Every structure is written in C-alpha cells, then in structure tokens.
Amino acid sequence: MTSLVSEPFLWRWIAVATAVLTVIVIGESWIGHYRSGFPLRAQYAPLVGGMALATACVALALVPRVEWVRLAVRWAGWVAVFTGVIGAGYHHYYGIVEKAGGYRWLLHHLMYGAPQLAPLALSTAGALAVLASEGVASAAVSPSASVPRLALAVVAIALAGAVAQTGILHYRGAFNTPFMYAPLALPPLAALGTGWLALAPAVGLTGVVRVLLWATFLLGFVGLGMHLRGLDRQMGGLHVFLFNLLQGPPPLAPAVYATLAGVGLLLLRAW
Amino acid sequence: MAHKSPRLFASPTHPIFTHFTIALTASSLVFDGLGRICNVSSLAAAGWWTIVGAVPAAIGALASGLTSRRRLAMEEGAARTWLRAHMAIGPSFLGGLVASAIWRASLWLETAAIPWAYLVALGAVVAAMTVQGYLGGELVYRFGAEVRERYEKLPNEREPAGEPARRSRTRPA
C-alpha cells in the first residue's frame, strides 16, 4: 500500500468521493424538484443539507485532524441520512399513495412518479461521511476493523438500490438501446461481491470484486455519455437546454455508479 | 439566435481543450512505451506528468463541449447523428482516461516499472480518443459545426460563378 492511500489518506479520499456523490445528488434533486416547481418547501432540504454535507466533506479531506471539522461532518452526515429517509417517505406518499389509483397503479407510479429510491442516495452520502469521519478519527483501514466493513456494506446496499432504481427507469425507457441492460448486469455482481466482502472479508475474492468495481466505475462514465446522447435525441437536443434537461434522462445519475465503485475500490486497498 | 454567453465562453474553447487532451494523452502513451522499451526513467516520468495534465484538459473538453453544443443549433440529419455519437463517446473516453491515470498514479507512487497491460489499456483509451477526434473533425470540417455560422465574407469576396450565396448548413438563414 502506498502513502497517499494509506491511513489517514484513505479516508480523506473517501471524503472527496463522498463530496462528489453529494454534488451529483444535489444536481439531480435540483433538476427533479425544479421540474415539479418546488411545490413543497421540504424539496429544498436535500439542496441545503447536501451543500452542508459536501462542504463538510471537503473540509474533512483538507484538515482531517481538526476535531470540530470531524464533528461537523458527523452532524451533516446524520442530517443527510435522515433527510434522505424522510425524502423517501415524501416520495412514497406524494409519488404513489396520493396519486390517482394509488397502489393499484403501482408500476405506473414507480415509473412516472417521483423516483422512490433516489432520496436514499443522500442517506448513502451521509452514512459514508459519518464513516469517513470515524475512519479518520480511529485510523482504521484493516478489513478486521468495523468501520471499513460498514462502509463497504453501505456501498453494497447503495449499489443494489441504484440497480433497482435504474431497472425501473430503464424499463420505462423500454430498453431502447442494448446498453441500457448494462447497469442491470455488472453492478449487481459488484454489489454482491462487496456485500460478501463486508460480511466475510475473504482475501481470495478481493481480486474478482476489484475487477467488478473497476467495470462499474467505467460503466458510470459510459452511462454519462449515453444519457447525454439521450438528452440530445430529444427535439432540439441540448440547444434547447433547460427543457430537454428536465425532460430527458437524468444527466448525472450514472455517475453515482462511478463514485460508489470508487469508494469501494478505495476501501479494497485495505483488503 | 445566439446565446448571450460571458465573453470568455463566447468563442469556441472546445477545440483548445480537445487538442491539449489529444496531445497529452498520446504523448503519455509514447513516453511510457519508449520508457518501457528503452528503460529510461526520465521518459517514464514524462509519461506520468503528461497523463496528469491530460485529465483536467479532458474535463475541460467535456465542459466546453457542452457549452458548444448548447450554442449550436443543428437540425436532424447526418451531422446530428455524428454529434450524438461524439457526445456518447466523450464521457466514456474520460472514464477510461481517469481509470488509466489512477492506475498510472499507483505505479508512480510505488516507483514500479510500467507493465505491458497498462500500455495496452492506455492504447485502448487512445484508440477511443482517435475515434472521438475523427468524429469531432468531421463535425467541424465536413458539417461546419460552430464554423459556418461564424463565416464572414471578405469585403472583396465574390461567390463562385453559378453558385448560390453561401449559407449555414446548420443554421437557417
């Protein structure tokens, strides 16, 4: 292991990746909530909480030894966790329960209503931030320590959630290109592998999981390109910027795969 | 209708960033390849620093490409199909470049020799960059993207005999 990715740098890099993930979540939630016209004040919560979290994570990466910075990251992280969970409740209530047809039109609302699992991306970022803060404090990088294993478990669960949300939305998009099957093929295997390593940190499996995470990392960038292409397939393309940004595929969402895989790869440096 | 952009972004900056990306990425492959073959450490160092420069240049190319696309009114047709392929490959290339740079960084930190596998991987990234550059070149030199609408006649310029007045292919007169 090299100096720049060993303790305490490992957790500082994870803080950077968490900040990037948070910025992606802020961007996507702004697009989604702007599209609906911010009818509820609560729709500003992920933007405010996310900005606080991203700022705190950057501060942790820069000055990890300052106690109040670690405390701020913990606070911002827990706020983000709860904001995401409450957001999921909002999305469930206003996206399914209150809609005409309710649960009887479940598939329709899952596809066309508020994305049910999207707010939990903020919870993921919050959980990773809290663990990064704990990791910096305890300097834990060994697979036998609880903090890295917990972080790996968070990555596995978040990848599984991202796959589920992608599955619904790509189904809505009628899998109009074969590339749309890719996020349902590679990341589930990566989620299984990271989950397995979190539960039983067996060294033998590390190489396979690392390859799967690298593939997921690259897939995130390919998805970014494909979503840009999707935006440009609409009438006027990106020349009619705001309209097509709101109506097309979520432009930043595939990058969530890349950041989660990045966090997983960083954690595997310790394995 | 042209968008009112800040002066800095009013001119097409995309070609500037892309050419830096192309030069630095290709140079990195050449330097690392020569460093491996000739076993010269200064060439390997040059390979590392050029890929370090290529990553921010590629991010700039992606960002400036989006601002260029936003300015460009392009009707459906062959040019638009090429443009969409160009837009899809761009971030994929960036992902490959970032992954290669991370791999190269780990080699640099460990002061390890460049393995052939790395050179093959970076070669694949350069191949993707070549396709991307070809598409970009076609968009500019064949379809006149961000060029034709900026064309201004010289004061004494005449249309060639029998040809209609020049018009933008991508933008209605």
pLDDT per 10-residue tile (average), chain B, 173 residues? 55 90 97 94 94 97 93 88 95 96 92 93 97 95 80 68 59 50
A127 and A174 in a common domain: no
pLDDT at A22 over 70: yes
Tokens for B111, please give them.
């002061």
Closest-CA distance, B98 to chain A, in angstroms, reads 9
pLDDT tens-digit readout, A90-104: 999 999 999 999 999
CA distance B113 to B152: 53
Nearest CA in chain B to A240: B70
Answer for the pair A145, A102: CB distance below 8 angstroms, yes or no.
no
What is the reported pLDDT for B164? 62
Identity of the residue in A3, A224, A233 whose CB atom sits nearest the CB atom of B91: A224
CA distance A230 to A220: 15
Among the candidates A94, A121, A141, a domain finishes at: A141
Sign of CA dihedral A139, A144, A150, A154: positive
Mean pLDDT highest for which of A141-145, A219-223, A231-235, B103-107? A219-223
Q: Count how many Cα atoms sit within 13 Å of the Cα of residue B11 in the half-sphere of its side chain.
A: 6
Identity of the residue in A4, A224, A239 whose CB atom sits nearest the CB atom of B72: A239
Q: Is A238 on the interface with B (CB under 8 A)?
A: yes
A174 and A49 in a common domain: no
What is the reported pLDDT for A269? 83
Percent of chain A with pLDDT over 70: 95
- Amino acid A109 reads H
Among the candidates A106, A122, A141, a domain finishes at: A141
- In chain A, what residues touch B95 (CB-CB under 8 Å)? 217-218, 220-222, 224, 258
A162 and A131 in a common domain: no
A189 and A263 in a common domain: yes
Mean pLDDT on A106-110: 95
Kind and range of the H or E element at B142? none
What is the reported pLDDT for A103? 94
Nearest CA in chain B to A226: B88
What is the reported pLDDT for A270? 74
Mean pLDDT on A1-23: 81
ipTM of the complex: 0.89
Tell me which residue range forms the domain holding A10.
Answer: 1-141
Nearest CA in chain B to A266: B102
Mean pLDDT on A250-268: 95
What does the DSSP 8-state code read for residue B165?
P
A100 and A45 in a common domain: yes
Tokens for B103, please give them.
């791999």
Mean pLDDT on A135-155: 84
pLDDT tens-digit readout, A48-69: 999 999 999 999 999 998 999 9
What is the reported pLDDT for A170? 96
pLDDT band at A39 (very low <50, low <70, confident <90, very high): very high
Q: Is A226 on the interface with B (CB under 8 A)?
A: yes
A147 and A137 in a common domain: no
Tokens for B74, please give them.
């392009």
Among the candidates A122, A141, A160, a domain finishes at: A141
In sequence order, which residues have a C-beta less than 8 Å from that of residue B103 and are 6 or more positions away?
B118, B121
Grouping H, G, I as helix, E, B as strand and the rest as coil, residue A157 is: helix
A267 and A256 in a common domain: yes
A147 and A266 in a common domain: yes
What is the reported pLDDT for B1? 45
What is the reported pLDDT for A1? 41
pLDDT at A108 over 70: yes
- Amino acid A242 reads L
Tokens for B45, please give them.
């160092």
Mean pLDDT on A2-20: 80
Instruction: Report the domain count for chain A.
Output: 2
Tokens for B17, please give them.
């960033």
Domain range annotation of chain B: 12-147
A148 and A131 in a common domain: no
- In chain B, what residues touch A232 (CB-CB under 8 Å)? 69, 80, 83-84, 87
A11 and A124 in a common domain: yes
Q: Quick one: residue B124, left, alpha or beta (phi over 0 = left, psi -120 to 50 = alpha)?
A: alpha
Answer for the pair A262, A226: CB distance below 8 angstroms, yes or no.
no
A177 φ, ψ to 5°?
Answer: -135, 145
